[in-house]
Amino acid sequence: MKKYLVVVHVDVQEAEEKKNLNTPGGEGLLTRVGGGSQGVPFFAFLDGSGEMIGNSIAPAANGRKAANIGHPYEPHEVDWFMVLLSKSAPRMTGAEREAIEKPLRAQKK
């Protein structure tokens, strides 16, 4: 049986004048996957049953508190993102991982 990756974008926490762009039920989903007040961008990886594999809240480490990595660009943020990819896409090849990791590590903020 072939498995597919499905990416779903959910709009939440829009500015007051754009509240109509929020996805109905999006706030509830955000809370369910651990986002809540963590800010956006926020992402979560779910399995085929809708159970969470992991999310963008990097655990506390090296004097840093647990926090949402958002779009990863700091080395520890990219490290966490790559851990999430390993957990959620275990059949991803080394070359495929490198194609994602290399530009993330090269970006400047």
Q: What's the domain count of the chain?
A: 1
pLDDT of amino acid 2: 63
- How confident is the model over 70-93, as a mean pLDDT? 93
**Structural domain harbouring 65:** 37-106
Say whether pTM exceeds 0.85.
Answer: no
pLDDT of amino acid 79: 96
Residue 73 lies in a domain: yes
Q: What is the pLDDT of residues 8-59, one digit of tens each?
A: 888 888 889 999 998 999 888 888 888 877 778 889 998 888 888 999 999 9
Residue 26 lies in a domain: no
Residue 82 lies in a domain: yes
Residue 51 lies in a domain: yes
Whether residue 51 contacts residue 42, with contact meaning beta carbons closer than 8 Å, is answered with no
Question: Smallest Cα–Cα separation from 34: which of 7, 69, 78, 82?
Answer: 69
pLDDT of amino acid 75: 94
pLDDT of amino acid 3: 66
